[in-house]
Amino acid sequence: MIVTKSTGSWYTVFDMGSGEEFRCRLRGALRLEGRRSTNPVVVGDEVVVEKTAESDYLITSILPRKNYLIRRSTNLSRESHIIAANIDYIYIIVSAEQPRTNPEFIDRVLVTCEAYKIPATIVVNKSDIDSGEEFREIYELAGYEVINTSVKTGEGIEELSSRLRGGLSLLTGNSGVGKSSVINAIDPSIGARVGNISHYHRKGMHTTTFSEIFRLSNGGFIIDTPGIKGFGLVDLDNDELARYFPDLSRYAPECGYYNCTHIHEPDCAVMQAFAEGKISESRYESYLKMLDDDGKHRK
């Protein structure tokens, strides 16, 4: 069984075998076990559910996760917030204009994807406004795939829909990049379902406030996440950060010092590659900012 929706108090659990859904509460002990995170159970979790004597359903245990997407929580009483678990692929939705996505945000998500071994692709949406060649140059140089989409012209929608067939994919990005519009263009039935829910609760136009899994008409599963403003790193030490930048790590073995920080050391192959244009300025600056801004949170 897989958790498809979490509101904090109640969880929707989907039985892949029977196709049934169950509205569940969480066993008290599991809430305590999740004390280092704001959310002990997340969408994508595979769980064990038991029926109580009162005919309620309880999540009694969580099966081991193969991976998860995690960020530093804005809640100071907790260390981290897990967005989703057991993800097969992540698509980072960005836009070059209206609004422009900060490359550092993209890099932070990518570092976490690398750390937890989740394949990721950058999707430049609103390509009818700006095709995002700057993003393409930066991230193809780093070794990532970049594709374009436009709900207005239809560019890339069919390709992205095809990629989402089978498996569990997560779409994430800042508010305003058009993520929900892309999802609705891929499968309009999702928009209809969300609209009905919003109308029922009289909440007006839908704005994603928590992660939720939707089953696509093509057979895949997609995780829709709330728009994310910031993405603080957790559980990563400064001395291992560079290995999660593929464009830095491919040159690091050639450095003169095995513990090179790639900031000031002589015979640094990473700094040399940067000077030769083999590493983009944007990516190298993101690396330096993460060392400086996040280091104190990861110690």
In which region does residue 44 sit, left (phi positive, over 0), alpha (psi from -120 to 50) or beta (all else)? left
Burial class (CB in 10 A: 0-12, 13-18, 19+), 111: buried
Q: What are the pLDDT tens digits along the chain (299 aa)?
A: 999 998 777 899 999 888 889 999 887 766 656 556 677 889 999 999 998 877 788 999 999 999 999 887 665 545 778 899 999 999 999 999 989 999 999 999 999 999 999 999 999 999 999 999 999 999 999 999 999 999 999 999 999 999 998 899 999 998 889 998 999 999 988 874 544 434 333 333 334 457 889 999 888 899 988 777 667 777 788 889 999 999 999 999 999 998 899 999 999 999 999 999 999 999 999 999 999 875 544 44
User: Known binder of ligand: residue 277?
Assistant: no
Task: Give the 3-state DSSP-derived string for the chain, with helices as H, strands as E and coil as C.
Answer: CEEEEECCCCEEEECCCCCCEEEEEECHHHHHHCCCECCCCCCCCEEEEEECCCCCEEEEEECCCCCEEEEECCCCCCCEEEEEECCCEEEEEEECCCCCCCHHHHHHHHHHHHHCCCCEEEEEECCCCCCCHHHHHHHHHHCCCEEECCCCCCCCHHHHHHHCCCCEEEEECCCCCCHHHHHHHHCHHHHHHHHHHHHHHCCCCCCCCCCEEEECCCCCEEEECCCCCCCCCCCCCHHHHHHHCHHHHCCHHHCCCCCCCCCCCCCCHHHHHHHCCCCCHHHHHHHHHHHHHHHHHCC
Q: Give pLDDT, residue 77.
A: 46
User: Known binder of ligand: residue 217?
Assistant: no
User: Known binder of ligand: residue 297?
Assistant: no
User: Known binder of ligand: residue 126?
Assistant: yes
User: Known binder of ligand: residue 39?
Assistant: no
Q: Give pLDDT, residue 96.
A: 93
Task: With CA atoms as reference, report the closest residue to 279 among 139, 117, 147, 145.
Answer: 139
Between CA 123 and CA 94 the distance in angstroms is: 6
Task: Determine contact, residues 91/169, Cβ cutoff 8 Å.
Answer: yes
In which region does residue 98 sit, left (phi positive, over 0), alpha (psi from -120 to 50) or beta (all else)? left
User: Known binder of ligand: residue 260?
Assistant: yes
- Residue 38: CB atoms within 10 Å: 17
Q: Give pLDDT, residue 299.
A: 42
User: Known binder of ligand: residue 131?
Assistant: no
User: Known binder of ligand: residue 220?
Assistant: no
Tokens found for residue 180: 């929900």
Q: Give pLDDT, residue 95.
A: 94
Catalogue all structural domains in the chain, each as residue range(s) with its CATH number: 2-64 (2.40.50.140), 69-76+83-224 (3.40.50.300), 238-297 (1.10.40.50)
Q: Give pLDDT, residue 190.
A: 82
User: Known binder of ligand: residue 67?
Assistant: no
User: Known binder of ligand: residue 173?
Assistant: yes
Q: Using alpha carbons only, what angle is made at residue 174 by residues 153 and 212, rounded to the nearest 5 degrees?
A: 90
Q: Give pLDDT, residue 54.
A: 76
User: Known binder of ligand: residue 295?
Assistant: no
User: Known binder of ligand: residue 177?
Assistant: yes
Task: Determine contact, residues 83/70, Cβ cutoff 8 Å.
Answer: yes
Tally the residues of the chain. Answer: 299
User: Known binder of ligand: residue 262?
Assistant: yes
Between CA 105 and CA 172 the distance in angstroms is: 11
Tokens found for residue 20: 């049934």
Q: What is the CA radius of gyration of the chain?
A: 20
Q: Give pLDDT, residue 117.
A: 94
User: Known binder of ligand: residue 179?
Assistant: yes
User: Known binder of ligand: residue 180?
Assistant: yes
Nearest 5°: phi and psi at 105? -60, -45
Measure the CA dihedral 238/240/244/246, to 10°: 110
